[in-house]
Structure 1
Amino acid sequence: MKVIDHINQAKDTLVSFEVLPPLKGKGIEALYKHLDPLMEFKPSFINVTYHRSEHIFKKRADGSFEKVVVRKRPGTEAICAAIMNKYNVDTVPHLICGGFNINETEDALINLRYLGIDNVLVLRGDAAKNETTFDAEPGGHRYANELLKQVTNLNAGIYIEEDLKGTQQRTEFCIGVAGYPEKHFEAPNMQTDLRYLKEKVDCGADYIVTQMFFDNEKYYAFVKSCREAGINVPIIPGLKPIYNKKQLTVLPKTFHIDLPADLANEIQKCKTDQDVEEVGKRWLLEQSKDLKKNGVPVLHYYTLGKPHIVADVVREIR
């Protein structure tokens, strides 16, 4: 079932989760263990992130170096199919520009259709860890709206190969895109960022999922600005628990977001990580209650290693 259909048919705020693929060489059992305590809440869908390839230099026997492409968390498509099979829940694989050329992207989308997956979250993706700026794959997409256009072309039955035109089935992907209540860090200003977001919606995006935020007023202001800009698709808030003091510096640096002073001050007073978890859980709970009261379509939780915190919160708001 498509995400947009879940939203349109819902009588109350839905719940969804986001998970990481296991590290390369690890089994899927740890992921199942992560998801098991969350399944009692009957999530409408589960997002599975995609992590682009990285370039490393490996030393040869003769002392020279060769450039090697590695992926630390492979398997997004297969994991989505495994989750669907085990839990009978819809999944949303992330699809990014980095690491794919357009032909590989088309093949990946065809594989998703074969697996019965009809949702994708289209993202440009971040620069590789050893690169300062985003570089597109040779023959790949530079921007999310280019990738989004390829998905909508397949939905219209338009494939890359000329001799396939008119002979292939149309795909039926529901397409999500990312939104940034505090502005994408590469955008010069919020107005530019909103204009780019509207381009993605005009290209065929069905809904928006936001970057994490810790101040609901920023989400409400973002939704208001989107509506004023003519962006009328559902806007799903993305939520994440804080569970250690290190996140006070890591989250702003990595995701270019602000943490409210009240939250930061309470965390600074904590003596242990368990104390931080309690503060983070209370904050997430109050965020969730307020958002649900104000009628958001879905509460989307970035679980990422701390499913028990999210489970405790969802249990109190259901």
Structure 2
Amino acid sequence: MKISQLFKEKDVTLSFEVFPPKTDAGFEAVEKAASEIAALSPDFMSVTYGAGGGTSKNTAKIAGDLQDRFSVPVLAHLTCVSSTKDLVKSVVNEYKERGIENIMALRGDIPKEGRISFDYDHATELIYDIKSIDDSFCIGGACYPEGHVECARQSEDIQHLKEKVDAGCDFLTTQMFFDNSTLYQFLYRIREKGIEVPVVPGIMPITNAKQVARSVALSGSTIPQKMKIMVDRFADEPDKMKEAGIIYACDQIIDLISNGVSHIHVYSMNKPDIAEGIMNNLRSIIR
């Protein structure tokens, strides 16, 4: 099923993201984790794509298998980074052959050598290309409630976002954030600029103290005082930290749904226990 159609049919959705292994040796463990998360019956699952397409064959395989075995819609990622037009065409065709109907089109992180790709500079160009290869796909894109780290002003970032949507992006998924007011302000700004596609909040459960520094380094996300206090209190007690992190994420999700933001995506980090904890806490709300 196309995710755009799913959003029309269901008032509330909850989905999870998994990522393929960096090497083939880790495939079995990731496949097991992904299967356990799929068995929880999320509304859809996304499968990420390694830089330069290094895990692209595993992205297609995991996504296709999840869809076939669990009848769960899948969102397969595709990035500009180090991609050529020929590679993109090949991947899009493989997704099509596997019955995958949804693609998350991303620029990806710039590699150390400093160039994104010989054929692409921005996700907007990738979206145009996917549409030209096969316009039957539902296409998702990324957005940044606190502004993209490479943009000096949020207004500039929102203009790029408008270009992405105009290119054919059907919905947007946010980078992680930990203060819902950040999202509400962002939604007001983008709606004001005519961006009307569904926006799916990306929620990252912080279940160990090391994730905080890592999250800030990767995304530039602001850590609210409430979360800092939680981490300080439970950092040295792993079980309590995990439970507190799940509850914090659930509190975010409940607040979002209460305020009419009802399609939620969870960055589950290949951890079925985290996904299960969130699903169990929210089951009566999302069903």
- TM-score, normalized by length of structure 1? 0.84
State whether structure 2 residue 143 is matched by structure 1 residue 179. Answer: yes
Alignment partner of 1:152 out of 126, 131, 140: 131
Amino acid at match of 2:251: E
Instruction: Return the alpha-carbon distance in structure 2 between the equivalents of residues 115 and 40 of structure 1.
Output: 20
- The one-letter amino acid paired with 2:19 is L
**Are 2:2 and 1:19 aligned?**
no
| C-alpha distance in structure 2 between counterparts of 1:50 and 1:255, whole Å | 18
User: SS where residue 75 of structure 1 aligns?
Assistant: helix
Q: Which residue of 1 aligns with 2:41?
A: 42
How many angstroms apart in 2 are the aligned matches of 1:26 and 1:13?
A: 37
Give 1:245's aligned residue.
Answer: 209
Match of 2:165 among 198, 201, 211: 201
Distance in 2 between residues matched to 1:143 and 1:7, nearest whole Å = 26
Q: Is the 8 Å Cα contact of residues 23 and 74 (structure 1) preserved in structure 2?
A: no
> How far did 1:192 drift?
0.5
Letter in 1 for 2:198: P
Name 1:315's counterpart in structure 2. Answer: 280
8 A contact 1:235–1:297 mirrored in 2: no
What TM-score do the two structures reach when normalised by structure 2? 0.92
Structure 2 alignment gaps of length 5 or more: none
Look up the SS of the partner of 2:266 in the other structure.
Answer: strand
Selected match of 1:189 from 146, 149, 153: 153
Q: Deviations over 1:77-132 (max 9, x none)?
A: 1221121122111111111001211122112111211111111000000012x34x
Distance 2:165 2:24 in 1: 38
State the alpha-carbon separation in 1 of the partners of residues 88 and 123 from structure 2. 13
Residue 37 of structure 1 deviates from its aligned partner by 4.0
Distance 1:36 1:151, change over 3 A: closer
1:306 aligns with 2:267: no
CA distance in 1, matches of 2:280, 2:188: 29
Question: Aligned-pair distance for 1:74?
Answer: 5.2
Query: What amino acid sits opposite 1:107 in the alignment?
Result: S
Q: Which amino acid aligns with 2:215?
A: L
Say if 1:288 and 1:112 are closer, same or farther in 2 by CA, change over 3 A: same
The amino acid that maps onto 1:112 is Y
- SS of corresponding position for 1:212: coil
* 1:280 paired to 2:245: yes
CA distance in 2, matches of 1:311, 1:240: 14
CA displacement, residues 215-271 of structure 1 (integer Å, 9 cap, x when unaligned): 111111111111001000000000011111112222111111111111112211223
Computed over aligned residues only, the root mean square deviation of the Cα atoms, in angstroms, reads: 1.8
Contact 1:14 1:298 in 2 (8 A): yes
SS in structure 1 at match of 2:75: strand
Seen in structure 2, the aligned counterparts of structure 1 residues 72 and 232 have a Cα distance that, compared at 3 Å, is closer
Equivalent of 2:195 in 225, 228, 231: 231
For 1:79-158, list aligned pairs within 5 A: 79-128=62-111, 130-131=112-113, 133=114, 135-138=115-118, 140-155=119-134
Q: Distance in 2 between matches of 1:234 and 1:313?
A: 22
Whether the 8 Å CA contact 1:148–1:204 is kept in 2: the answer is: yes
On the 8 A contact 2:22/2:50 being kept in 1, the answer is no
Stretch of structure 1 that moved more, 171-180 or 103-112: 103-112
- Count of residues paired in the alignment: 282
Output the CA distance in 1 between the equivalents of 2:225 and 2:137.
41
Partner letter of residue 12 of structure 2? Answer: T
Secondary structure at the counterpart of residue 217 of structure 1? helix
Matched residue, 2:2: 2
For structure 1, the 5+ residue unaligned runs are 54-69, 156-170
Distance in 2 of aligned mates of 1:91 and 1:238 = 16
Contact preservation (8 Å) 1:13, 1:295:
no
> Residue type matched to 1:282 in 2?
I
Alpha-carbon distance in 1 for matches of 2:264, 2:206: 16
Q: Between Structure 1 and Structure 2, whose CA radius of gyration is higher?
A: 1
Match of 1:290 among 255, 263, 269: 255
2:40 and 2:55 map into 1 onto residues whose CA distance is 30
Quick check: 304-313 or 79-88, which moved more? 304-313
3-state DSSP of counterpart to 1:290: helix
Contact 1:24 / 1:74 at 8 angstroms: preserved in 2? no
Q: Would the alpha carbon gap of residues 71 and 40 (structure 1) be closer, same or farther in structure 2, given more than 3 Å must change?
A: closer
Match of 1:264 in 2: 228
